[in-house]
């Protein structure tokens, strides 16, 4: 676990030091940094043509920007079902006000007791 976190921090640090702004990065960049940092595989194609953003040993994970949290719920549940893995969502928060979307996501998952593991990425 510690080695995974250190690897993720190293990747993020090297990118930030190369004068890029994380707020302007495309979703695929976040997928690669987070997923590879967790030892997962990025953009795994399913038999029906859909792609799971990040597949780990235990989870099928949908990664989305904060404002797309409702879509992330449905996609993560579908990917979990299709892969027989736990559903997961990484919500990408690019600014402090995005925490509002994180709170909404958590409220819906809790209210309906949905079996989705969540992580947030960003400030």
pTM over 0.85: no
Give the model's pLDDT for residue 25. Answer: 73
Between 49 and 26, residue with greater pLDDT: 49
Neighbours of 111 (CB within 10 A): 8
Beta carbons of 61 and 52 less than 8 angstroms apart: yes
Beta carbons of 48 and 56 less than 8 angstroms apart: no
Between 26 and 40, residue with greater pLDDT: 40
Measuring CA to CA, which residue among 53, 51, 19, 50 is closest to residue 33?
Answer: 53
**Which token pair is 47?**
């038999």
Task: Give the model confidence (pLDDT) of 76-112 as tens digits.
Answer: 999 999 999 999 999 999 999 999 999 999 999 999 9
- What topology is assigned to 2-121 in CATH? Trna Endonuclease; Chain: A, domain 1 (3.40.1350)
Average pLDDT over the chain reads: 86
Q: How far is CA 31 from the centre of its chain?
A: 7
Between 2 and 76, residue with greater pLDDT: 76
Task: Give the model confidence (pLDDT) of 20-33 as tens digits.
Answer: 444 567 888 889 99
């Amino acid at each position: 676990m510690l080695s995974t976190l250190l690897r993720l921090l190293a990747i993020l640090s090297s990118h930030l030091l190369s004068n890029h702004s994380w707020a302007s990065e495309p979703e695929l960049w976040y997928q690669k940094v987070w997923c590879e940092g967790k030892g997962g595989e990025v953009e795994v194609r399913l038999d029906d043509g859909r792609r799971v953003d990040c597949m780990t040993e235990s989870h099928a994970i949908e990664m989305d920007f904060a404002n797309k949290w409702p879509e992330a719920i449905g996609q993560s549940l579908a990917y979990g079902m299709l892969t027989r893995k736990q559903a997961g969502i990484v919500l990408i928060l690019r600014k402090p006000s995005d925490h509002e979307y994180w709170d909404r996501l958590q409220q819906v998952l809790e209210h309906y007791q949905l079996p989705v593991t969540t992580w947030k990425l960003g400030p």
